[in-house]
C-alpha cells in the first residue's frame, strides 16, 4: 500500500492510498479514512508512506533514442533506462533510428530486443521505422508489438535511415489502413531551397545559432504537416506528429482532426495527435550562445514568442503529449559549428522537472503533468489500459515527487551516457524522490536500486 497526503490523478488530488496486488497492479484507490479501516482490519499489509510527497503515475516518455546496438558510445539501454528511472519515467519507447541496425525489419527488431532484454531498468517499448522499400515488413512488426512507426520527410541525420519520399506516402497510408497502428512523422520538408547544409543561403557564420535557425524555417514543418494532412481524409491510420516546434502546425492538425471526426472517426483525438518536447517549452533561440551546439536539434528551438504560443496550446489542451526526444551523441560530434554538429538534445532524465518548472510558473497543476506526461503518451502507444494513470487494473508504475524541492543539473547527477546538456548548471523545480515499476522500487534518492527489473512491451512470443 502506497500512502500520500497528496495522491495526484489527472482530475484531482486527495489524501489517501493506492493498494497494489502481488502482481504489481493497482488493486484499489482509497481515501485516508478507508486506508485506516483497511489497515486496522488487515495487519499484514506492507505500507510505503510518502507523507507529504506527491504520489503520481510514472512518466511515459514516448520518444527516446537509445541507439543500441550500433551506436552504444552515444547511449545504451542500461544508461538510458537508469536515467529514465531517476527522472520518474517508468516506461520509455525506443525510436527506430540511430541504432545499427535501425528498427526497420522484423529481424532488426529481434536484434534490438536481444540487445535490450535483461538490460532495462524501466519498461521499454519500440517504435518501428519506415524507410523506402520496407513496406513488406510493417505488418510483421505490428504483429510483434511495435507501438507504431516513425518516418522522416527530410534527411534523418543517419545514412541507414533514409527518408520517405512524397510519392511513397499514398501507398504507405493504404498499407497501414486497418492495422490500428500509429504512423508518426518527423515532419520537416525541404522547401524553397532550404537544406541542412550551408547551401543556398547566407551561412557566413556557422557558429551562430541564428545561422542554423535560418536553415530550418517554420515553413519546413508547416509544409510537411499540410502534406500529411492531405492524406487523412482517405485513411483511418492514427497519425502523430512528433516534436512539434513551429506553433503554426497546431491549427493545421486541428482542421484535419475535425474533418476526421465529422467523417466518423471514433479513435483517440480523431486519430490525429501531436507532441512537443521539453526543449521547445523551456528554451528559446534568443538565449542560445554562439558555439553551444548542445542546444542543436531538429526542428530547431525557435523564438520566445513561439514558445509562449506552444504554452498557450498546452493550457487549452490543443497539444496531446510531451516527450523528450532524447537524442544523444558523443561529445566529439558536438563541436562549436551548428551546421556540422549532431542535432539532438539529451534530456531523458529531466523531462518531468523541466516541465514542472515551466508549468508551475504558469499556474498549471500536477494533474496537468499527469495528463501530458503519463496519460497522453500511454494513449498514443496503446498502453492506456495498462499504464499512464493511477487507476485500478493498471500497472503500479508510481513515483514519489517533491514538487517544492529544486536541484541543479550537474554532471554528477546525470545518469545517461554522454553528460551533455543545454540545462547544465541550471536550477530545476520538482525532484523525483522514488520510482517504482509494477510496485517494485527501482530508484531512490539518487540511487538505482538493484538490477534491471524492466520488461519489454511486446506481443506474446517476442
Ligand atoms: N536522428 C535523430 O535522432 N534525429 C533527432 N534529433 C533531433 O533533434 N530530432 C530528431 O529527429
Ligand atoms: Zn525526429
Ligand atoms: Zn527523435
Q: In this predicted complex, what is the ipTM?
A: 0.97
Ligand nearest to the CA of 152: 2
In terms of C-beta density within 10 A (0-12 exposed, 13-18 middle, 19 or more buried), how is residue 461 classed?
exposed
Distance 460 CA to ligand 2 centre (A): 29
Distances (CA, A) of 256 to 171, 232, 233, 244: 19, 7, 8, 16
The answer to which of 13-17, 94-98, 198-202, 446-450 has the lowest mean pLDDT is 198-202
> What local confidence, expressed as pLDDT, does residue 203 receive?
72
Specify the length of the chain in residues. 462
State mean pLDDT over 406-427.
98
Beta carbons of 220 and 354 less than 8 angstroms apart: no
288: which 3 cell numbers? 542560445
The residue assigned the cell 512518466 is 59
Q: How far is the CA of 342 from the centre of ligand 1 (A)?
A: 9
Predicted TM-score (pTM) of the model is: 0.98
Average model confidence (pLDDT) across the chain: 97
Q: State the Cα–Cα distance between residues 293 and 100, nearest whole angstrom.
A: 24
List the one residue out of 137, 83, 148, 73 whose CA is nearest residue 110.
137
Residue range 335-369, pLDDT digits in tens: 999 999 999 999 999 999 999 999 999 999 999 99
Which residues have any ligand 1 atom within 6 Å of their CB? 65, 97-98, 156-158, 186, 297-298, 325, 327, 343-344
Q: Is the pLDDT of residue 193 over 60?
A: no
Given ligand 1 and candidates 220, 327, 348, which is best to mutate, with the most ligand atoms within 8 Å of its CB? 327
Which residue in 20, 62, 83 sits closest to 395, CA to CA?
20
The three three-digit cell numbers of residue 354, written as one number: 523541466
Q: Residue 399: pLDDT band by 50, 70, 90 thresholds?
A: very high
Phi, psi dihedrals of residue 219, rounded to the nearest 5°: -55, -30
Instruction: Tell me which ligand sits closest to the C-alpha of residue 297.
Output: 1
What the chain holds in terms of domains, given with CATH numbers, is 58-389+405-429 (3.20.20.140)
pLDDT value at residue 202: 64
Note the pLDDT tens digit of each residue in 165-180: 999 999 999 999 999 9
Distance 343 CA to ligand 1 centre (A): 6
Amino acid at each position: 500500500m502506497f500512502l500520500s497526503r497528496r495522491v495526484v490523478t489527472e482530475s484531482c488530488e486527495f489524501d489517501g492510498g493506492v493498494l497494489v496486488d502481488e502482481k504489481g497492479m493497482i488493486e484499489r484507490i482509497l481515501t485516508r479514512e478507508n486506508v485506516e479501516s483497511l489497515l486496522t482490519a488487515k495487519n499484514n499489509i506492507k505500507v510505503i508512506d510518502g507523507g507529504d510527497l506527491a504520489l503520481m503515475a510514472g512518466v511515459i516518455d514516448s520518444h527516446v533514442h537509445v541507439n543500441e546496438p550500433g551506436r552504444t558510445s552515444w547511449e545504451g539501454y542500461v544508461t538510458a533506462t537508469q536515467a529514465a528511472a531517476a527522472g520518474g519515467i517508468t516506461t520509455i519507447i525506443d525510436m527506430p533510428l540511430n541504432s545499427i541496425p535501425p528498427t526497420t525489419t522484423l529481424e532488426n527488431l529481434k536484434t534490438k530486443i536481444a540487445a535490450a532484454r535483461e538490460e532495462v531498468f524501466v519498461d521499454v517499448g519500440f517504435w518501428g521505422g519506415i524507410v523506402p522499400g520496407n513496406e513488406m515488413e510493417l505488418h510483421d512488426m505490428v504483429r510483434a508489438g511495435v507501438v507504431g512507426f516513425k518516418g522522416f520527410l527530410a534527411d534523418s541525420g543517419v545514412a541507414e535511415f533514409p527518408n520517405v519520399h512524397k510519392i511513397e506516402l499514398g501507398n504507405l497510408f493504404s498499407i497501414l489502413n486497418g492495422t490500428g497502428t500509429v504512423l508518426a512523422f518527423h515532419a520537416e520538408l525541404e522547401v524553397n531551397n532550404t537544406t541542412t547544409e550551408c547551401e543556398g543561403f547566407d551561412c557566413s557564420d556557422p557558429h551562430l545559432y541564428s545561422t542554423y535557425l535560418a536553415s530550418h524555417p517554420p515553413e519546413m514543418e508547416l509544409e510537411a504537416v499540410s502534406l500529411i494532412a492531405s492524406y487523412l481524409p482517405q485513411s483511418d491510420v492514427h497519425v502523430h506528429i512528433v516534436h512539434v516546434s513551429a506553433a503554426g502546425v497546431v491549427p493545421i492538425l486541428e482542421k484535419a482532426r475535425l474533418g476526421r471526426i465529422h467523417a466518423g472517426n471514433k479513435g483517440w483525438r480523431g486519430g490525429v495527435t501531436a507532441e512537443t518536447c521539453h526543449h521547445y517549452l523551456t528554451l528559446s533561440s534568443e538565449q542560445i550562445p554562439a558555439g553551444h551546439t548542445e542546444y542543436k536539434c531538429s526542428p530547431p528551438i525557435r523564438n520566445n514568442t513561439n514558445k509562449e504560443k506552444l504554452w498557450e496550446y498546452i493550457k487549452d489542451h490543443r497539444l496531446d503529449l510531451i516527450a523528450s526526444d532524447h537524442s544523444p551523441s558523443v561529445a566529439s560530434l558536438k563541436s562549436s559549428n551548428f551546421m556540422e554538429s549532431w542535432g539532438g538534445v539529451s534530456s531523458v532524465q529531466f523531462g518531468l522537472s523541466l516541465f514542472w518548472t515551466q508549468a508551475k510558473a504558469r499556474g498549471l497543476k500536477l494533474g496537468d503533468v499527469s495528463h501530458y506526461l503519463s496519460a497522453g503518451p500511454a494513449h498514443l502507444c496503446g498502453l492506456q489500459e495498462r499504464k499512464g494513470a493511477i487507476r485500478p487494473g493498471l500497472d503500479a508504475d508510481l513515483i514519489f515527487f517533491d514538487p517544492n524541492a529544486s536541484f541543479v543539473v550537474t554532471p554528477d547527477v546525470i545518469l545517461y551516457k554522454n553528460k551533455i546538456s543545454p540545462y547544465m548548471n541550471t536550477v530545476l523545480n520538482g525532484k523525483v524522490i522514488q520510482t517504482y515499476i509494477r510496485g517494485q522500487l527501482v530508484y531512490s534518492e539518487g540511487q538505482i536500486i538493484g538490477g534491471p527489473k524492466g520488461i519489454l512491451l511486446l506481443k506474446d512470443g517476442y
